[in-house]
A and B are shown apart, each in its own frame.
Chain A
Amino acid sequence: MRLDGATLWACASARAKGFAFVTAAALGVFATLLVAAGKDPLEAYIDTLTYVFGNAYGFSELLVRMIPLMLTAVAAALPARIGLINVGAEGQLYMGAWLATAGALALPDLPAFVLLPLLTLLGFVGGGLWALVAGVLRALRLVNETISTLLLNYIAPLIVSYFIFGPWRSPETASYPQSPAFVEAARLPTFFHSRVHFGLVYALASLVLYWLVMTRTRIGLDMRAIGGNPEAAQRLGIPIIRYILTVMFIAGGVAGLAGMAEVTAIQGRLVSELSPGYGFIGFLVSWLAGSSAAGIVTMSFLFALISSVGDILQITQGVPYAVVNILMAVILFIVLGRHSVGSVAR
């Protein structure tokens, strides 16, 4: 949509104001709950801000948390443009991690500059194929993709666990099942002594490509046509089935990259608990952002910030990290409640 600068700014600042209100309200509600539980929310909020913004490491941890969120958000946003609902980024992430692990364990002798691109490809393909299952079922008019991606979400971690407890079980850590550690060549490089890894490049590249394709290419236009009016799109000759299959594959692939990054950069091996719900949070991020690329960055930032609040609460006040999910949920509830018809934008 072409808007001139002034309208664009007015639109963005109106949304920002709206969002500031929502966040403030949510922080208030969450603070009340914490006070009721005998904790000091103000201290927690201030500590978080000083940690994240006053501290290079704190900020880098924020970025680390943003990476998988941005990727899974794109994985949800892309199919959303053609009217498909992909809640399966969680499972696609696991399958990307799984296939990348297979590569890392099978080819430990390759040099990094060959191995890493290969693992990236495997991560993409793993997630992509997993999403394609749902895509095929939808294209054949058999099963709605919402429920199939949801079910596949729970099968994928079980596949990963099977391998960790079985063929890929590391002999060194018998009590805590996980895969053997990856060789150095299979580790995705990090930046500047922080944990911020190359996955950031994947995330930003995905976002930029997503934005470019949707706004500047004929493919993006055809996709928006399918999403806007599938009947008309079909009548105008747009091959809907081809788009369903391709888009689901690519979306799953992007989520798979998140999984690949988790195992090659953060964990250095395949473990059973790879994701604290990145797939679902990514879906919510994409939904809040109205599937817009800039919005995805903003929302990922916000949710990463929330998870930092969770960390601080756990470390400084002994509140379990899980409690911060309340803050996230309250923000969502307020947004959901304010817009009486459907989602935030478009």
Chain B
Amino acid sequence: MNPALIVGVVAGSIMSGTSLLYATLGEVVGERAGIVNLGLEGIMLIGAASGFAATALTGSPYLGIVAAALAGAAANMIFAYLVVGRHANQLATGLSLMFFGIGMSALIGRPFVGVLITGLPRLPVPGFAPGEVGARLLSYDILVYLAAPVSLFTWWLIFRTRWGLGLRTVGESPAAAFAAGLNPQKLQYQALTFAGALGGIAGAHISVALTLTWAEGMTAGRGFIAIALVIFAKWNPLWAIAGALLFGGVEGLQLQLQAAGADVSPFVMNMTPYLLTLLVLIVWGWSRQSVAPAALGRNFVGVE
């Protein structure tokens, strides 16, 4: 095996996987609170468009990322108000949010199609000159470096804090949470704000760090891969890191294999995240494991 190929695959999966990871982390927090957001794709698109537009307007990719986070959180608040405040059907609201995101991002991004920006710079790694194998493997933009720490923080938040304990309780049973003196609605709003911000950042990573362009629908279904990834990672932020590398790696691996002339259909490879998730669900269903947050299960993952 060509070492350049391996490096390429690993670097590719890290770059692809970062965006997936942020989106997944946000969705994990939301689903832990019992809310599934099928509109994640829409949030990511809004983040991608806003981030790109802000970067183009201000010249600063960092401001772009911040703008994307704010835009994502704001858009998710529409979803939160409907689902938490008005008790609207989560699936219908999520799909509506997806369409909203497709449209809104197209509107925001239209003036910036074809515009060039300076994207998030890859940070230099001490000890390696740019261009060396080591540099290619280790030099990434700041969002990549922050991805693992953010995962760890999310894990700590969910499992080690009082807020996280309340969050998990709401996701298991809002009634029990209420009986325990918690405020389920407040927790859900907070969770969805966090999720929206991360979703926006996830989208912005693609436009501001990866492709340095804006095109309609550029997230290409990553939002749904993230939803599958949440399940695959068993709603655990740490497992999400491995899953993001794996699912992100599919894309990277497929490109490298093509370049190397290998005869694996990219489409079959792209199916693997969904097939793997389906397989995992079947296994859990077979062993009668209940791994999903119970309140989520009622309308999304449970089978009675």
Known A165-B265, A325-B100; contact A143-B89, beta-carbon cutoff 8 A: no
Q: Which of B89, B231, B275, B297 contacts A342 (CB 8 A)?
A: B89
Known A322-B217, A337-B82, A339-B88; contact A166-B265, beta-carbon cutoff 8 A: yes
Q: Is B157 an interface residue (CB 8 A)?
A: no
Report yes or no: B95 in contact with A144, Cβ–Cβ below 8 A.
no
Query: B181-222: which residues lie under 8 A (CB-CB) from chain A?
Result: 216-217, 221
Report yes or no: A151 in contact with B78, Cβ–Cβ below 8 A.
no
> In the bound complex, how far is the Cα of B99 from the Cα of A333, in angstroms?
11
Q: Which of B99, B217, B221, B303 contacts A142 (CB 8 A)?
A: B303
Q: Which of B216, B225, B301 contacts A147 (CB 8 A)?
A: B301
Digit string of B263-304 for contact with A (CB within 8 Å is 1, else 0)? 001011011001101100110011000000000010111111
Shortest CB–CB separation between residue A280 and chain B, in angstroms? 5
Q: Which of B81, B102, B299 contacts A325 (CB 8 A)?
A: B102
Q: Is A31 an interface residue (CB 8 A)?
A: no
Chain B residue with the shortest CB-CB distance to A146? B300
Q: Is A328 an interface residue (CB 8 A)?
A: yes
Chain B residue with the shortest CB-CB distance to A331? B96
User: Which residues on B sit within 8 Å (CB–CB) of A153?
Assistant: 224
Report yes or no: A146 in contact with B228, Cβ–Cβ below 8 A.
no
Report yes or no: B278 in contact with A280, Cβ–Cβ below 8 A.
no
Shortest CB–CB separation between residue B184 and chain A, in angstroms? 16
Known A158-B271, A326-B103; contact A340-B86, beta-carbon cutoff 8 A: yes
Report yes or no: A151 in contact with B274, Cβ–Cβ below 8 A.
yes
> In the bound complex, how far is the Cα of B72 from the Cα of A316, in angstroms?
31
Q: Is B150 an interface residue (CB 8 A)?
A: no
- Size of interface on A: residues with Cβ below 8 Å to B: 52
Shortest CB–CB separation between residue B33 and chain A, in angstroms? 18
User: Which residues on A sit within 8 Å (CB–CB) of B88?
Assistant: 336-337, 339-340, 342
Report yes or no: B100 in contact with A329, Cβ–Cβ below 8 A.
yes
Q: Which of B91, B106, B297, B303 contacts A87 (CB 8 A)?
A: B91
User: Which residues on B sit within 8 Å (CB–CB) of A152?
Assistant: 274, 278
Chain B residue with the shortest CB-CB distance to A30? B103
Report yes or no: A142 in contact with B281, Cβ–Cβ below 8 A.
yes
Shortest CB–CB separation between residue B270 and chain A, in angstroms? 5
Known A87-B91, A147-B300, A329-B100; contact A323-B107, beta-carbon cutoff 8 A: yes
Chain B binding surface SS class: helix
Report yes or no: B299 in contact with A333, Cβ–Cβ below 8 A.
no
Chain B residue with the shortest CB-CB distance to A281? B99
Q: Is A155 an interface residue (CB 8 A)?
A: yes
User: Which residues on B sit within 8 Å (CB–CB) of A323?
Assistant: 103, 106-107, 110
User: Which residues on A sit within 8 Å (CB–CB) of B99?
Assistant: 277, 280-281, 325-326, 328-329, 332
Q: Is A319 an interface residue (CB 8 A)?
A: yes
Q: Is B97 an interface residue (CB 8 A)?
A: yes
Chain A residue with the shortest CB-CB distance to B225? A154
Chain B residue with the shortest CB-CB distance to A139? B303
Report yes or no: A326 in contact with B91, Cβ–Cβ below 8 A.
no
Q: Is B93 an interface residue (CB 8 A)?
A: yes
User: Which residues on B sit within 8 Å (CB–CB) of A280?
Assistant: 95, 98-99
Q: Is B104 an interface residue (CB 8 A)?
A: yes
Known A144-B303, A151-B228; contact A326-B107, beta-carbon cutoff 8 A: yes
Q: Which of B93, B103, B268, B278 contacts A336 (CB 8 A)?
A: B93
Report yes or no: A33 in contact with B107, Cβ–Cβ below 8 A.
yes
Chain A residue with the shortest CB-CB distance to B88? A336
Chain A residue with the shortest CB-CB distance to B285? A142
Known A142-B282, A146-B300; contact A155-B86, beta-carbon cutoff 8 A: no
Report yes or no: B231 in contact with A147, Cβ–Cβ below 8 A.
yes
Q: Is A343 an interface residue (CB 8 A)?
A: yes
Q: Which of B95, B105, B224, B304 contacts A283 (CB 8 A)?
A: B95
Report yes or no: A333 in contact with B107, Cβ–Cβ below 8 A.
no
Q: Is B92 an interface residue (CB 8 A)?
A: yes
User: Which residues on A sit within 8 Å (CB–CB) of B216?
Assistant: 320, 322
Q: Is A85 an interface residue (CB 8 A)?
A: yes
> In the bound complex, how far is the Cα of B302 from the Cα of A158, in angstroms?
27
Q: Is A104 an interface residue (CB 8 A)?
A: no
Known A159-B267, A320-B106, A322-B106; contact A146-B221, beta-carbon cutoff 8 A: no
Q: Is A287 an interface residue (CB 8 A)?
A: yes
> In the bound complex, how far is the Cα of B224 from the Cα of A280, in angstroms?
13
Q: Is B162 an interface residue (CB 8 A)?
A: no
Known A159-B267, A322-B103, A326-B104; contact A154-B224, beta-carbon cutoff 8 A: yes
User: Which residues on B sit within 8 Å (CB–CB) of A162?
Assistant: 265, 267-268
User: Which residues on B sit within 8 Å (CB–CB) of A140?
Assistant: 285
Shortest CB–CB separation between residue A343 and chain B, in angstroms? 6
Shortest CB–CB separation between residue A311 and chain B, in angstroms? 14
- Minimum-distance CB pairs A-B, first 7: A325-B103, A142-B285, A329-B100, A326-B103, A322-B106, A332-B96, A336-B88
Contact residues of B with A, CB < 8 Å? 38, 78, 81-82, 86-89, 91-93, 95-100, 102-107, 110, 216-217, 221, 224-225, 227-228, 231, 265, 267-268, 270-271, 274-275, 277-278, 281-282, 285-286, 297, 299-304
> Could you jot down 11 A-B contacts, CB within 8 Å?
A137-B282, A152-B274, A154-B221, A158-B268, A284-B92, A320-B110, A322-B106, A323-B103, A326-B107, A342-B87, A342-B89
Apart from A87-B95, A165-B267, A283-B95, what are 12 other A-B pairs with CB-CB below 8 Å?
A37-B107, A37-B110, A85-B299, A142-B286, A142-B303, A147-B281, A154-B221, A287-B92, A322-B217, A325-B99, A333-B96, A337-B81
